[in-house]
Amino acid sequence: MLDQCRGKKGRRVCGIKSSSTLGTYWKIFRLIYDEANDANTTASSTARCTGYRKEHKLSNKKRGKTAVYLEDLVGILQTNLTTTKKYGHGRHRIQLALFHHLAGFSANRPQAVLDLCYRHIVVTLLRDPLGGPRRILLEFSYEFIKQF
């Protein structure tokens, strides 16, 4: 699998270049194999997988994560809110917009969004000075984010 250059109908296969990809393939293969044979794979086969990493000089470098800037988030939300694609429920479209906003404030820390509780949310009704309907203001206080 590590030396494979051509796939079906002669198409070029890019191959495996990183150690983490091999680890992912190995874990999936091991789960399927163990389920099919009602047996656990041995430690020697796992050690052999580590040997392949050294033998084929696979990379251990982590890829840099691309940042989502505010301008990108505006485009994503505008597309989400104006698209004619049907959601299972209208609430899903608004929830997705809320999650995007929350993720933007948490500075790419998904656990900060998951750790939100009701005590972190303050709901305030604001009166319209022109006599229109009241506005709902939601305030979130994060405990688990970077402080600037």
Q: Per residue in 87-133, pLDDT tens?
A: 777 788 888 888 888 877 776 677 777 888 888 888 999 998 898 89
Q: What is the pLDDT of residue 110?
A: 74
pLDDT of residue 148: 57
Q: What DSSP character marks residue 41?
A: P
- Work out the pLDDT band at 14, boundaries 50, 70, 90: confident
Report whether pLDDT(25) > 90.
no
pLDDT at 76 over 60: yes
Which pLDDT belongs to residue 144? 66
Residue 98 · residue 76 · CB < 8 Å:
no
Neighbours of 140 (CB within 10 A): 14
Distance CA 116, CA 136 (A): 19
pLDDT for the residue numbered 107? 67
Mean pLDDT for the chain overall: 79
Strands 135-140 and 121-126: antiparallel
Q: What percent of the chain is predicted at pLDDT more than 70?
A: 87
pTM: 0.44
Report whether 97 contacts 126 (CB < 8 A).
Answer: no
Q: Over range 128-140, report the average pLDDT.
A: 87
Instruction: Report percent pLDDT > 90 for the chain.
Output: 3
